[in-house]
Structure 1
């Protein structure tokens, strides 16, 4: 009898502790930072999700149980990232969910999602683990939107007058999309993913207001502020004056993705 009790105490003390403190088992015992909202963060260009893993009750100690919980949490995080991503608008005529139906696309996207960064870990007294994870939206856009040939040309002639572009789209009902396009009056793209020097760059940021956009480090100290005159689907049609201004200066900042779109 004494030996059996000794084996029980040594074999699964973490289980006994968890059962004795069942009411407290959902309280985190180590938190690095509060969780941020899941979904697409258009301001920072990040997709966020949380993954949860339960402990392996057959493990011999808390450390092993927690390792199993962390593996389960990582797998759950990828599933939840994909679920969040499916509802994100990709561009004017397509959602991410529709794009994932293309042959081989889901596998390529999941590969990107598995490269997530863990921003926060929460350990629970029952051995469970929660992970807050994030993936850059530009990395996903680069996979989801195939390159167009010859792409969107960027004017690199003329004076280097501006450091970035701010598009004022307020009042048009515009919404953030993963791969936005700026168009001229004929519907021809003048800026988008295919204008970037590297497809891993963000196409645009979506600051909260015009003042914030003007002050954004992304667009630099002297951004060109232009007006979008209407929507074509979810794409933005620029005013003729804006197009003339862009044509007259070195637009290298476009190739670097130094663009902010203000929707409200």
Structure 2
């Protein structure tokens, strides 16, 4: 009888817990990274002790607990952000007390985006922080911009070859017809940005992605950009489809679109493009500054 009684109590407790959980409406995702907007957000839930002096005090204490819970979740999400193909934010925090202290300071001042009181009296709080700005300044690689010559190398002059001057033409007997008037040619529009279509490849976003040609030579990365632009807006923007990437003001009115061949790197954040596209980008970038100003959009799945 005692054994049966214990089973009944345990079953009743389990039923009560299931009933309680069913009454709590599921809220938004606890934490997420919106790479298209360059923002990390987290949602926390706070409750207040029953011995609070007033309803206002209970609400204030619940709000405070909700902020603490949200920022704790925000920290866990920030740790998992990929900086490049091999390094996450957590790796920097473990290896540097300075980085850990700075990030904790940023989190303690993360913006409260909203709050609402739930039916049970608890408070749901949403906090957020930017991937760009202070966080990017702390974590971005320190490669110096302009350290790579984007101009294609000129073909070497053959050695030991003497070029004889062509003989002057003799007197012309026949009359020469006048040359036709030149047909005006419209100059091509200036390339204002780059769209890399990586859809269907399983590529992942990162703060510092890279592009490589088929021979493994880097075409785009931290050493090709202005650090100021990379900190302000990130090295690349991300979109879910080509149309959204094309409409993004980041790449301007006349972006060049290419298709990635495959992903590269341990975390699948780097992309390989064809040698033909790589040469085209190098040629265009030699006369324009769209790479230096991080005018790059990457389309993911």
**Distance change in 2, residues 1:247/1:121 (3 Å):** same
Q: Aligned pair 1:143/2:172, yes or no?
A: no
Aligned to 1:238: 273
Matched, 1:263 2:300: yes
The structure richer in strand per residue is 1
Instruction: State yes or no: 1:80 paired with 2:73.
Output: yes
Aligned length: 233
Query: Aligned pair in 2 of structure 1 residues 100, 152: CA closer, same or farther (>3 Å)?
Result: farther
The aligned residue for residue 164 of structure 1 is 193
Root mean square deviation of aligned Cα: 3.1
Deviation at residue 53 of structure 1 after TM alignment: 1.8
Q: Deviations over 1:192-222 (max 9, x none)?
A: 3451342232221221122222222221221
- The equivalent residue for 1:132 is 126
CA drift at 1:36: 6.0
Structural mapping, 1:109-120, within 5 Å: 109-120=103-114
1:1-264 correspondence runs (5 A):
35=28, 38-104=31-97, 105-124=99-118, 127-139=121-133, 140-149=135-144, 153=148, 161-194=190-223, 195-198=225-228, 199-233=231-265, 234=268, 235-249=270-284, 250-264=287-301
Tell me the TM-score normalized by structure 2.
Answer: 0.66
Taking the aligned partners of 2:148 and 2:95, their CA distance within structure 1 comes to 27
Q: CA deviation at 1:253?
A: 2.6
The answer to whether the 8 A contact 1:89-1:178 is kept is yes
Q: Is the 8 A contact 1:35 1:132 kept in 2?
A: no
Q: Work out the CA distance in 1 between the residues paired with 2:227 and 2:37.
A: 20
List per-residue Cα deviations over 1:160-179 (Å, max 9, x = no partner).
81221101223433222232
> Structure 1-normalised TM-score?
0.74
Q: For residues 117-149 of structure 1, give each alpha carbon's deviation from its aligned partner in whole angstroms, at most 9, with x where no partner exists.
A: 322211235553221122222243432334234
Separation (CA, whole Å) in 1 of partners of 2:149 and 2:255: 17
Report SS of the residue matched to 1:94. Answer: coil
In the TM superposition, residue 99 of structure 1 has moved relative to its aligned partner by: 2.7
Deviations 1:5-32 (A, max 9, x none): xxxxxxxxxxxxxxxxxx9xx889xxxx
Equivalent position of 1:16 in the other structure: none
Question: Larger Rg: 1 or 2?
Answer: 2
Task: Give structure 1 stretches of 5+ with no counterpart.
Answer: 1-22, 29-33
2:45–2:66 Cα contact (<8 Å) kept? yes
CA distance in 1, matches of 2:213, 2:106: 33
C-alpha distance in structure 2 between counterparts of 1:237 and 1:91, whole Å: 15
User: Match of 2:154?
Assistant: none
Structure 2: distance between partners of 1:228 and 1:203? 17
